[in-house]
Amino acid sequence: MGKIILDDIFNAIKIIQKDLPKNKLRKELLKKLNFGDKFLLPIKIKQNIPPYNQSSMDGIGVKKKKKKYKIKGTTKLNIYKKFNLTEDECLVVKTGSLIPDDIKYIIPIERLFKYKKEFHVLEYNFEKNFIRKKGHIFKKGQLINPKNKELSLKDFISLKSINNIQVKVFSKISFKIISTGSEFDRNHFIYPTNAEYIDHFIRQNNHIVKNCIHLKDDQNKIMKEIKKYDCDITIVIGGTGKSKDDINFDKFNLKINGLDLKPGRPFKYLYEKSKIVLFFPGNPTSSFVLTNILLKSIFNYYKGQTYLTHKKININDIDYDFSKLKRKSFLFADIVNKNIKIFSNQESSNFSNIINSNYLIYYDKTSNLRMFYIDD
């Protein structure tokens, strides 16, 4: 078994990121994707949107200012057609119709009188042409999201409405979650929900959970399930301690065997047969911190980000006794009256902190703190 004890969780993240499966890209139409699917940015527009001029009113399209026009034909909403139109002729148009470039004016239907096969113009000054120019939404060659920021829901849905945008989509990572422990059942005053939270967190980030199971403290069954290596990443929850019922890690060649961290010290990492196994402590706050920091860093890696967004804070700006902390720590906190408040009871068993907090403050035994927003 490996004897590596890391200084902090962020060194562990760097080691794990190097072992992550490579991103495989496939081409896909944006309209077939779901919000949260990851694809390469920026998006390059292949043609003008709209590709042709459009009418913005129901009425007729004409080339010249006249008093009356013969009807040449009718345009369609989704089909572009050329017409050899004379100055005395018109095309019947609807709002959104694709129109030829030589149409200079759209005369609204309210300003027209139809008699037989002609339209007569009532009082009208031709000051507004009611034509939407091709490319007025996006121009050919334009880059969407050139700063490579993650698309919001409104951005994604708006772009998805464009019919022929093709993007390069990242493959999703597959997970298996193994929750362990014989000490809990549904009649216990606390029922383990770590696996359910991690399952939701993975799916929320649009990756795949192939299986989520609970096993009692049976070493043979746990070992057999781990060594199936039937997904990209296996997460084992619980059994990271040193009691007789915990997992015997002497059977593994661990890359990481513990962290200088509270909560989360018993975390372990195995890389075998090109597969990743993450061993999370069963303690709810430990599991929560590792999910929101380590697991989120894995997801960010597949977005091209090797870091987690955070705010830097000086230790002197917060009213808290950091001298009592023996290890590097994530502290549960919130904003109260515009001030950062670190909760007084930071015991790892106190999972009420998960409910009450919106931030995690990272203390690395220096005066420089990092504040992470919990956005799940």
- Tens of pLDDT, residue by residue over 315-329, are 999 999 999 999 999
Please determine, for residue 351, whether its predicted confidence score (pLDDT) is greater than 60. Answer: yes
Beta bridge partners of 296: none
Determine how many CB atoms are found less than 10 A away from the CB of residue 47: 15
Cα–Cα distance list, 95 to 54, 56, 77, 106, 139 (Å): 8, 5, 8, 10, 21
Q: d(Cα 362, Cα 360) in Å, to the nearest integer?
A: 6
Write down the mean pLDDT value for the chain: 90
| pLDDT single digits (tens) 16-37 | 999 999 877 888 999 988 887 8
Q: Which residue has the higher pLDDT, 269 or 241?
A: 269
Please determine, for residue 82, whether its predicted confidence score (pLDDT) is greater than 80. Answer: yes
CATH fold of the domain at 25-48+137-170 = Molybdopterin biosynthesis moea protein, domain 2 (3.90.105)
Tokens read off for 117? 């096969």
Contact 263, 286 (CB under 8 A): yes
Please determine, for residue 213, whether its predicted confidence score (pLDDT) is greater than 50. Answer: yes
* Mean pLDDT within 243-247: 83
* Mean pLDDT within 233-247: 89
Q: Is residue 21 packed enough to be buried (19+ CB in 10 Å), middle (13-18) or exposed (0-12)?
A: middle
- pTM for the model stands at 0.74
Please determine, for residue 5, whether its predicted confidence score (pLDDT) is greater than 70. Answer: no
> Can you give the residue ranges of every domain in the chain?
9-24+171-301, 25-48+137-170, 53-132, 311-373
Under the banding of pLDDT at 50, 70 and 90, the label for residue 287 is very high
Work out whether strand 275-280 and strand 233-237 pair parallel, antiparallel, or are unpaired: parallel
Bond from prior residue into 51 cis (ω within 30 degrees of 0): no
- Helix, coil or strand: residue 136: coil
Bond from prior residue into 284 cis (ω within 30 degrees of 0): no
Superfamily of domain 9-24+171-301: MoaB/Mog-like domain (3.40.980.10)
Q: Which residue has the higher pLDDT, 244 or 139?
A: 139
Q: d(Cα 17, Cα 23) in Å, to the nearest integer?
A: 12
Pick one of 2.70.50.60, 2.170.190.11, 3.40.630.20, 1.10.490.10 as the CATH number of 53-132.
2.170.190.11
Under the banding of pLDDT at 50, 70 and 90, the label for residue 172 is confident
Q: d(Cα 153, Cα 355) in Å, to the nearest integer?
A: 26
Beta bridge partners of 98: 54
* Mean pLDDT within 165-171: 86
Q: Taking Cα atoms as reference points, which of 189, 192, 137 lies closest to residue 162?
A: 137
Q: Is residue 286 packed enough to be buried (19+ CB in 10 Å), middle (13-18) or exposed (0-12)?
A: buried
Which amino acid is present at 324?
K
Contact 88, 69 (CB under 8 A): yes
Cα–Cα distance list, 326 to 261, 263, 294, 364 (Å): 9, 12, 21, 10
* Mean pLDDT within 171-193: 78
Under the banding of pLDDT at 50, 70 and 90, the label for residue 1 is very low
Please determine, for residue 263, whether its predicted confidence score (pLDDT) is greater than 90. Answer: yes
Range of lowest pLDDT (51-55, 186-190, 339-343): 186-190
What are the φ/ψ torsions at residue 23 (nearest 5 degrees)?
Answer: -70, 120
Q: d(Cα 17, Cα 67) in Å, to the nearest integer?
A: 72
Residues 6 or more apart whose Cβ sits within 8 Å of residue 164: 29, 46, 47
Q: Taking Cα atoms as reference points, which of 209, 212, 207, 211 lies closest to residue 172?
A: 207
Q: Taking Cα atoms as reference points, which of 332, 340, 339, 342 lies closest to residue 292?
A: 332
* Mean pLDDT within 127-142: 92
